[in-house]
Structure 1
Amino acid sequence: MATPHISAAAGQIAPAVLMPGDPRRADRIAALLMPEASVVSEVRGNRVHTGTVNGQPLSVMASGMGMPSLAIYATELFDVYDVQRIIRVGTAGGLSPDVAVGDVLIALGAHTDSAMIDRLIPGIHFSAVASYELIAAAVTASHDLPPLPDGRGGSVHVAPVVSRDGFYGNPPAEIEALAAHGTLGVEMEAAALYGIAASRRRQALAVCTVSDHLLDGSADLSPEQREKDFERALTLALAAAHA
């Protein structure tokens, strides 16, 4: 049952997986949601935690940075461990005046500059979109989110994001064009997740906290603000995981 990147045995990974990018954040999510969770794999230091939340099984593991890294883990989870849904819970940079640092983006779809998606169906520009059931669950859960305690807003948006291969070098003209077409955030994983899930008839969603803004440079939240903001996205991701 083990793969080159996951050493868990059959049945040790839940049908629903929460997937942040950072392995340390995965550890913190597991400790917050499932203090009694078991570590069922730790290949390359990427621990997979499995436990229950409100009686329902859940696993948490990191994707690493970028679409190639996420694609490895998502493929193995879907193909080998029969995972049914993966929910990315991460961060994004704001692209539009319509979104602010601290807001949460439920990624309806993910444009991309990556060739990974174009290879899915030769001759077709594949539309990388989220699973409706998971979007609906996250949106419903968002209605009960309290405001941020420091008055920064923390609005929830359902909108496209763009998944880029490069972290640096976002051309201003591209940012402007993406924003003009309703794209609110930039990140590095959602398009690959959506494409891989679709190719296996599985479910996927990305819920991202806006941690910085490419238009005005606003960023650098305090560690306390980052964790509080991130917990809001985590609430929505958990609702999707157990929809």
Structure 2
Amino acid sequence: MGTPHNEAQTGDIAKTVLMPGDPLRAKYIADNYLTDVSCFNTVRNMSGFTGIYNGCRVSVMGSGMGMPSMGIYSYELYNVYDVDNIIRIGSAGAFDDDLNLMDIVLGMGSCTDSNFAAQYNLPGIYAPIADFTLLKTAYDVAEEKHFSVKVGNVLASDVFYNDDTTVNDRWKKMGVLAVDMESAALYMTAARCRKHALTILTISDHLYRGEKLSAQERQTGFTKMMETALETAVRLQNNRQMEAL
């Protein structure tokens, strides 16, 4: 098997994959949360690992930055490796006044300024949304753990350094909570492949208060988001096993 971007073979990757943007965050999760770990990919240094978390087989792999990169890796995971669920675990810049650094945001929907949907030749504007079962499960986990979590619309932007300095204000007035750079591509790819996706974000910057985390804090400090995603994967597997009885 294998692709130009992923050297994994059949069976190397679990049905649920956690996808941070940073491959070093993938390695951190593998090193600190998983047992019986095997590395299935090192192509382009986009590390991928499969291991066991609380009796559940789960994989974690970097997605890189931006929607083209997410589009490639998620498409291959869904179509080549028969992955069912992808949970993006990434960082985001906050618009919402009530969000603080390290808060968790679950992306119920993902607005975008990207042209990613043009490939589908749709007769209107597509609304990328999360899988409800993944969303509800993750929300329940975060609530039970008493994590600070908010659910709503996010923005997936193609532009990090935007020449138009007014764009954030316009998204904010529509109630968009925060901005990342991958969620819309993940949701659209999942919809096209008839698979499941969720974006879980940790606030790393507040774009209106000038607050931000360090690069090291982004790599290793998002433990609440990681634990929420891992426990969501466990509950998905347990529910699937119950349904099979």
Aligned to 2:167: 174
Distance 2:215 2:88 in 1: 23
For residues 8-51 of structure 1, the C-alpha deviation after alignment (integer angstroms, 9 at most, x for no partner) is 11011100000000111110011111143001221111221011
Counterpart position of 1:214? 207
Contact 1:17 1:60 in 2 (8 A): yes
- Give how far 1:82 is off: 0.2
1:238 aligns with 230
1:7 paired residue number = 7
Check if 1:203 corresponds to 2:196.
yes
Change (3 A) 1:170 1:84: farther
Indicate the residue corresponding to 1:107 in structure 2: 107
Partner AA of 2:11 in structure 1: G
The secondary structure found in structure 2 opposite 1:183 is coil
Report what 2:88 is aligned to: 88
Match of 1:13, SS state, is: coil
- Quote the Cα distance in structure 1 between the aligned partners of 2:13 and 2:20: 16
Residues 120 and 195 of structure 1 are in contact (CA less than 8 Å); yes or no, is this contact kept in structure 2? no
Question: Which sections of structure 1, spanning at least 5 residues, go unmatched?
Answer: 148-154
Q: Give 1:145's aligned residue.
A: 145
Identity, in percent, stands at 39
Shift in alpha-carbon separation, 1:119–1:222, aligned structure 2, 3 A: closer
**Structure 2 partner of 1:192:** 185
User: Quick one: which amino acid aligns to residue 30 of structure 2?
Assistant: A
1:76-95 Cα offsets, whole Å, 9 max, x none, are 11110000010000100001
Question: Is the counterpart of residue 78 in structure 1 residue 110 in structure 2?
Answer: no
Runs of 4+ in 1 over 6 A off after TM superposition: none
| Residue matched to 1:61 | 61
Unaligned stretches of 5+ in structure 2?
A: 237-245
When the two chains are superposed, the root-mean-square deviation of aligned CA atoms in Å is 1.8
1:128 paired with 2:128, answer: yes
The Cα offsets for residues 181-238 of structure 1, whole Å up to 9 and x where unpaired, read as 211100100000000000011000010100001112111358468744x111112212
User: Over residues 54-77 of structure 1, what are the superposed CA-to-partner deviations in whole Å (9 max), with x where a residue is unaligned?
Assistant: 221111100000000011100111
What is the TM-score normalised by the length of structure 1? Answer: 0.91
Determine if contact 1:108/1:158 at 8 Å carries over to the other structure. yes
Q: Which moved more, 1:91-100 or 1:166-175?
A: 166-175
Give the letter for the 1:204 counterpart: A
Q: Deviations over 1:128-148 (max 9, x none)?
A: 00000000111100112256x
Query: What corresponds to 1:151 in structure 2?
Result: none
C-alpha contact 1:5 1:73 (8 A) present in aligned 2: yes
1:51 matched residue in structure 2: 51
Contact 1:98/1:184 (CA < 8 Å) preserved in 2? no
TM-score, scaled to structure 2 = 0.90
8 A Cα contact 1:20 1:90, kept in partner = yes
SS at match of 1:178: helix
1:131-170 CA distance string (max 9 Å, x none): 00000111100112256xxxxxxx2100111000011127
Alpha-carbon separation, structure 1, partners of 2:205 and 2:18: 22
